[in-house]
Chain A
Amino acid sequence: MTGKQTIIPFGPQHPVLPEPIHLDLVVEDERVISAIPSIGYVHRGLESLVDRREYQDFVYLAERICGICSFTHSSTFCQGIEGMMGIEVPPRATYLRTMWGEYSRIHSHLLWLGLFADSLGFESLFYNAWKIRESILNELEATTGGRVIQGVCKVGGVRRDVTPQFLSEMDDRLDGIEDEMKELTNVFLNDYTLKKRLVGKGVLSKEDAYILGAAGPTARGSGLDIDIRSTGYLAYGDVGFKPVVEKDGDGYARCAVRCKELFQSVEIIRRVMTDMPSGDVSVPVKGNPDGEYFSRSEQPRGEVVHYLKGNGTKYLTQFRVRTPTLTNVPALVSIIGGCELADVPQIVLTIDPCIGCMER
């Protein structure tokens, strides 16, 4: 016998959500029939400030679209301005941007692993993930001066350089971090309890992932080989890159993609360190941007697109961001339909929602 349909509100303030998003869950007994999302709790209207801030100052604002993917946003914005103005960025700067971008990815994935463990009530695992994340933040702080908001990217290059001595010592520290991450991911991929909550939950088929426009680990967990890093922007073309893809499309596959990307990122950082070219880290910038440009990058959560339009003054006329979480929400809504009510928090987390990015 089935009961009547009931609507259970999920969010905006919920213990598993560090950020506010609201879902109305239509349930019949314990089964979720559908989910109706409503967003807008973090919308600041940041893009509208573009005509009141000079394009070089706007890098700071672009960085504050989101505090987790901050570095990628600033580098994507700079990439757009540089593309529009035809600025040739020194190779050392592109390598440094690649390095910091990968550090941000590791810190973001560890953050997600921790939050996911926390959502299950697996507190010690949450703490372990965040302990390793602190070593990554130490590296970021030592090289850029900031923990989560780095402020190191600028139009024409980067603000800070790293010393050869620092790079050589970094290699040893990475070994330690890698060992710790191996222990951690072993729990995520092989623990009985975690498998129970992940395997077969929230299955997104390859076709659905493609039609609904999923991005990043959500798409790659469903067998779609989509990763903007394969296009070889920044230094990815030089160091070589092959996306991590899993076939199953369930929560476990998405978790496995992120676990494997941790080691892939460490590998990329190692290669960037060995091949780091010498020279300047920035070039002087003269003039103002004119024209339009689509700038694409791979964030920890998927592909981000910045659209910029200038008219030859120091203020851009238009700025638009398409972030991976927004394109992952339709996929999320589709996989929540038909699941158990108790699985909703975990399924919501497996797409790694970043509401700050999504609503700007």
Chain B
Amino acid sequence: MTSASKSPWILHYNASSCNGCDIEILAALTPVYDVERFGIINTGNPAHTDIFLVTGGVNEQNKVVLKNLYDQIPEPKVVVAVGICASSGGVFRDCYNISGGVDTIIPVDVYVPGCSVRPEALIEGIVKALGILEQKRAAMEERK
């Protein structure tokens, strides 16, 4: 285990979400759930990011922003689709502007269910993402 997979830094982007999942991501960082005690920090900078949390079903205008952010994150990186909208489009799937899930734009590693997602589920998703992050790092080491 390296320090990054013990204390990953996360980047959060709202790709056409209703806010419900976004405020639960922040709630997971604040005192009651408090993932910051493990050194998990919500960074605003893609270049510092290990885990990318995306909420919402991704609309036309967001596609480019989401792709840009993904490209700016250094390898190894893990993408977590937070909530049902990010996973499949959810209740907004039939809307004319919604592409139907984050995985239509960028590769997703972990899907967290819920509308809105509960902080407990989100934390479990991040823990799953840590395992994947470690695997990706090991694979990178091997290639060297």
Partner of A64, one of B20, B45, B94, B96: B20
Query: Is B62 touching A149 in the complex (CB atoms < 8 A)?
Result: no
A42 at the interface (CB under 8 A from B): yes
Whether A66 pairs with B19 at a CB distance below 8 angstroms is yes
Q: How many residues of B contact A (CB 8 A)?
A: 39
Kindly identify, within residues 33 to 49 of chain A, every residue whose CB is under 8 Å from any CB belonging to chain B. Answer: 40-46, 48-49
Complex-state Cα separation, A64 to B98, whole angstroms: 15
Look across to chain B and name the residue whose beta carbon is closest to the beta carbon of A356: B19
A19 near B14 with CB under 8 A, answer: yes
> By the criterion CB–CB under 8 Å, are A20 and B97 in contact?
no
Contacts of B13 in A (CB 8 A): 13, 20
Residues of B within 8 Å of A208, CB to CB, are none
Query: How far is B12's CA from A18's CA once the two chains are assembled, in angstroms?
Result: 8
Within the complex, what minimum Cβ distance (angstroms) separates A36 from chain B? 16
In the bound complex, do residue B23 and residue A68 qualify as a contact, i.e. CB atoms below 8 Å apart?
Answer: yes
Q: Assess the B18–A356 pair: CB atoms within 8 A.
A: yes
Q: Are A67 and B16 in contact (CB under 8 A)?
A: no
Closest to A146 in B: B116
Flag if B14 contacts A20 (CB, 8 Å).
yes
Interface size on A, residues (CB 8 A): 41
**Inter-chain contacts of A18 with B (CB < 8 A):** 12, 14, 19, 22-23, 26
User: A residues near B, CB below 8 A?
Assistant: 12-15, 18-20, 40-46, 48-49, 52, 60-61, 64-68, 70, 111, 114, 126-128, 130-131, 133-134, 137, 147-149, 354-356
Q: Which of A64, A126, A131, A148 contacts B23 (CB 8 A)?
A: A148
Taking A41-B59, A148-B20, A354-B19 as known contacts, 8 extra A-B pairs with beta carbons closer than 8 A to each other, sorted by chain A number, are A13-B69, A15-B44, A20-B13, A45-B97, A46-B95, A49-B92, A64-B18, A131-B31
Say yes or no: is B40 at the interface (Cβ < 8 Å to chain A): no
Least Cβ–Cβ distance between B108 and chain A, in angstroms: 18
Query: Is there an interface contact between A45 and B30, defined as CB atoms closer than 8 Å?
Result: no
CA of A130 to CA of B25, assembled, Å = 12
Closest 4 CB pairs of A and B: A67-B20, A15-B44, A67-B19, A130-B30
